[in-house]
Structure 1
């Protein structure tokens, strides 16, 4: 699996989970998740804390590989290719599947420009100055940050506001031209205005990427996603399950499962 070259068109990918179970040592955190995520769409994962939604998200770019004792069973297919196949390089998986975390995490010693190019530098991609300039501008435009920072690219990324830092992290993620973009509660640390800016950006990003977002904000899930998966847990020490996966409008207006209705109406969680 090779990363998409800089400058080429992004080709969003379809994701399919088949009987996905995830373990931390002997503890089964998630059990038997089946799901199809369509390309160029936004899919939201919702559910109470500890139900496994972030764990499933992190399985999609093999982030669990760096967690001691974590083990994945079943299949995670990207356009039919099992990301946990025998000969798959996890580093290349992360070229194709980008991640944006809950807390904005620009590299504090790097400039705004350096942050955008960090992923390419880590992967030893050598660019001419003109190529690097193009990547920086294209990525910052893609994250709706260019006009705000174009005159101060040499200032530290940490000098930006929280919302700007999160958009810088999105620019850093899309600079390597992934095909899937994962977001783990990307607005939980942001103020309402910055949150709306990120939500507007997500709507634009789905034109080029397959976007999967974990959120505790059900109104946000309803606003930004086409499909929603509701995860739940039967009790302490039990594995999380995907209870219902459907069009977002159906999940929030006429869910099939009583558990789903109880959660979205605030009866628990």
Structure 2
């Protein structure tokens, strides 16, 4: 598990509209990379290109290269569903399936991928995934209860358990703590630090303190104005981005002067 991501001059379009322009970036395996920048600068759009999730919108397409351990995920004949099993996504708001039990929520992605498992194998996946999401001890005695009955922070960790159950190589997180209270946020941040031991983790966040706490590298995106494409402005070690950025716009953003 855990793969390197190499992006070369990627342009992201929605029909004819250029949403993100000319991104080149290398994301190392077993690391946490944070995408920061003002609203509308393309960071979430770019995040969604890493598992071709943006393609759920009609007319969405890319130009350029996106390599996962050297394999172009946009090459002819590559199935987006296969890509999404390798590159999991955790969304901004916790989205457990409300009619499913905690157990069935964890197994949902595995079953969606067509895997047929015996009961013992299923139980092993459930326990391993919930332990991996630091949730097992809190829910082990109520696995048959609805996932929607958990607190917000627990629901988000349940969604992370559902993501890691399919054994991806990369985990994408789109503002995973924005709907959570500070205690739940801390639990998810602690989990992110543990996940990087096995996975490549990429997180979009508007919380500068969070980016500084959890990420090894930070990418700052910006936009020149309404209707203009988002661009990657600066990418470096997180400490450098926050303490000694090379671009003034980066310094202005991380210091709170704009955004």
Shared fold by TM > 0.5? yes
Matched, 1:61 2:48: no
Measured in 2, the distance between the counterparts of 1:15 and 1:91 equals 18
**Runs of 4+ in structure 1 displaced over 6 angstroms?**
none
Q: Deviations over 1:57-104 (max 9, x none)?
A: 000001012111211110110001010000211111011000000000
| 1:221 match: secondary structure | helix
| 2:99 match: secondary structure | coil
Q: Equivalent residue for 2:192?
A: 202
Q: Equivalent residue for 1:178?
A: 168
Q: Equivalent residue for 2:231?
A: 241
Measured in 1, the distance between the counterparts of 2:257 and 2:54 equals 32
| 2:48 match: secondary structure | helix
Matched, 1:145 2:122: no
Per the TM alignment, residue 266 of structure 1 is displaced from its structure 2 partner at its CA by 1.2
Q: Equivalent residue for 1:167?
A: 157
Runs of 5+ consecutive residues of structure 2 not aligned to the other structure:
none
Matched, 1:264 2:243: no
| 1:250 match: secondary structure | helix
Measured in 1, the distance between the counterparts of 2:174 and 2:55 equals 17
Matched, 1:29 2:19: yes
| 1:174 match: secondary structure | helix
Cα-Cα RMSD:
0.5
Matched, 1:87 2:111: no
Moved more, 44-53 or 81-90: 81-90
Per the TM alignment, residue 251 of structure 1 is displaced from its structure 2 partner at its CA by 0.1
TM-score, with length taken from structure 1: 0.96
| 2:34 match: secondary structure | strand
Measured in 1, the distance between the counterparts of 2:184 and 2:110 equals 27
Q: Deviations over 1:21-67 (max 9, x none)?
A: 10112211100000000000000000000000000000000101211
Moved more, 83-92 or 180-189: 83-92
Moved more, 69-78 or 47-56: 69-78
Per the TM alignment, residue 121 of structure 1 is displaced from its structure 2 partner at its CA by 1.1
Measured in 2, the distance between the counterparts of 1:31 and 1:81 equals 22
- Alignment size in residue pairs: 259
Q: Equivalent residue for 2:215?
A: 225
Q: Deviations over 1:106-127 (max 9, x none)?
A: 0001000000000011112100
Measured in 2, the distance between the counterparts of 1:257 and 1:31 equals 18
Residue 203 (structure 2) aligned to one of 213, 219, 223 = 213
